[in-house]
Amino acid sequence: MPLQYINELLGLPELQLQQLVSIDTKEVHLEASPVAYKQPCPLCHSEASVKRDGRNRTRQIRHLSIFGRKSYLHVPSIRMTCTRCRISFVWIYDFVGPKQRYSQAFRAQTVEQTLGSTAVHSALMQQAPVSTVQRMHQEALPKACEHLTKQAWREAEDSSNLVLGIDDFAIKKGHTYNTGIHNLRGETMLDLWAGRKLEDLRAYAQANPQFLALKPKAVVMDLAKAYHTWITECFPHAIRIADRFHVHGYVIESVQEIRKSIQHTVSPRAKATLKSHHRLLNPPIDQLCVKSKAQLESILAFSPLLRSVWEWKESFSLWYDCSPDINVARLGFMRWLGQGETLDHPAVRSTLKTMRNWQEEIVNYHHCRFTNATVEGRHNRIKAYQRRHYFTRNQECYKAGILVECNRPHLTS
């Protein structure tokens, strides 16, 4: 292939290829030089007083792969002198930083691969040392995080109907938690901080006036009292919504408690059937296939109480999906509570007590139908990131990595 086509393939207009130094099955070495003869002085920005003053050693720069081989550019390190400013400087290339051995394009491609994978995988793809890939990732992470975070906050501040989602995720289950705040409309993560107790939430609000300047229409969260107390203090006019899937979990838990209680009263064969197909009791019936519906019918036939509480659970799903407005939803919720009172079981009574205590927040779902489903999906991304990076010890890199991981699919980096 002629050198001019290779030059276009490299995408470096500031260089002109001179010759092909060597080529084998793994590497391509190309000699290149700047197209311009002189370069402006970095102080006076003039070429009139600049003269060339010889060359130092040739620089070998790793660039993007071509023809399935690693490519290396051999470029001269040209010494320049400005007679006006009386300074000497070395030719500054746009495609590579000073004293660097990897081009900007190679770094960008490597970092892009690392953000969605691991340093080991990216190093294997680029045929580069793992330590080098990790260093590139650590250098690019703060800038990418700053850009994406500013963009996410700008969208939240400019939104006229902002809906926030708040939830925590575990670093160590049962011991250490982080809390994240999310823009549910923009599907972005705004920030995260250590802790989930009320004092941790208040400390974050005091340290971040940008958060208090937001004007959310609604805030979606689970039934943790600390969250509702904190949001009432920060945004007294915002609608507090109990997350649908957390609320629904209480009803499903009562169904499973009744299933466990009747397992001890049936035959061993029926007990095995109940235990093996217990997950069929959780989803709405319209999400099951024909075979699963038949299996569900067989386990509901073991107990009238189990059938009744399952129908109570199904009516709760219908209430969520079919209530046309807040007034109808409030009446339907009261009827659903009355239906639950006919089921004489401790698990149902415990669930009804929780539902009455949080009645207003549960019904508020019908003001604006948002849930923390995207937040839970983002938590899965965070857990995968933590496993890939083995819980980065540097807290700033840990936070920046999570924010980039969560916001990169929805924002431009």
Per-residue pLDDT, 163: 95
Per-residue pLDDT, 392: 64
Q: What does pTM read for this prediction?
A: 0.80
Cβ atoms of 333 and 325 closer than 8 Å? no
- Alpha-carbon distance of 49 to 162, in angstroms, equals 57
Q: In what order do the strands lie in the sheet with 27-34?
A: 15-23, 27-34, 69-75, 59-66
Domain 154-243+371-407: which CATH class?
A: alpha beta
Per-residue pLDDT, 408: 82
The closest alpha carbon to 107, from 92, 90, 116, 95, belongs to 95
Per-residue pLDDT, 1: 53
Q: 123-158 burial, b if ≥16 CB within 10 A, otherwise e? A: beebebeeebbbebbbebbeebbeebbebbbebbee
CA distances from 225 to 117, 264, 357, 371 (A): 37, 36, 11, 18
Q: What is the 3-state secondary structure (H, E, C) of the chain?
A: CCHHHHHHHHCCCCEEEEEEEEECCCEEEEEEEECCCCCCCCCCCCCCCEEEEEECCCEEEEEEEECCEEEEEEECCEEEEECCCCEEEECCCCCCCCCCCECHHHHHHHHHHHHCCCHHHHHHHHCCCHHHHHHHHHHHHHHHHHHHHHHHHHHHHHCCCCEEEEEEEEEECCCEEEEEEEECCCCEEEEEEECCCHHHHHHHHHHCHHHHCCCCCEEEECCCHHHHHHHHHHCCCCEEEECHHHHHHHHHHHHHHHHHHHHCCCCHHHHHHHHHCHHHHCCCHHHCCHHHHHHHHHHHCCCHHHHHHHHHHHHHHHHHHHCCCHHHHHHHHHHHHHHHHCCCCHHHHHHHHHHHHCHHHHHHHHCCCCCCHHHHHHHHHHHHHHHHHCCCCCHHHHHHHHHHHHHCCCCCC
- Alpha-carbon distance of 156 to 215, in angstroms, equals 9
Per-residue pLDDT, 2: 63
Sign of CA dihedral 332, 333, 334, 338: positive
- Alpha-carbon distance of 136 to 113, in angstroms, equals 11
Structural domain boundaries of the chain? 3-101, 154-243+371-407, 244-366
Q: In what order do the strands lie in the sheet with 50-55?
A: 50-55, 78-82, 87-90
- Alpha-carbon distance of 281 to 231, in angstroms, equals 34
For the chain, 413 residues long, give each residue's pLDDT as a single digit of tens: 566 667 777 788 888 888 888 888 889 899 999 988 888 988 888 888 899 888 888 999 999 888 788 999 999 999 999 988 888 899 999 999 888 999 999 998 888 888 767 788 888 888 888 888 888 888 888 888 899 999 999 999 998 899 999 999 888 776 788 999 999 998 999 999 998 999 999 999 999 999 999 999 999 999 999 999 999 999 999 999 999 999 999 999 999 999 999 988 888 888 899 889 999 999 999 999 999 999 999 999 999 999 999 999 999 999 999 999 999 999 999 999 999 999 989 999 999 999 999 999 999 999 989 999 999 989 988 888 887 766 567 788 888 888 988 888 777 65
Per-residue pLDDT, 356: 95
Cβ atoms of 238 and 231 closer than 8 Å? yes
Distance of CA 69 to the CA centre of its chain: 34
Per-residue pLDDT, 213: 93
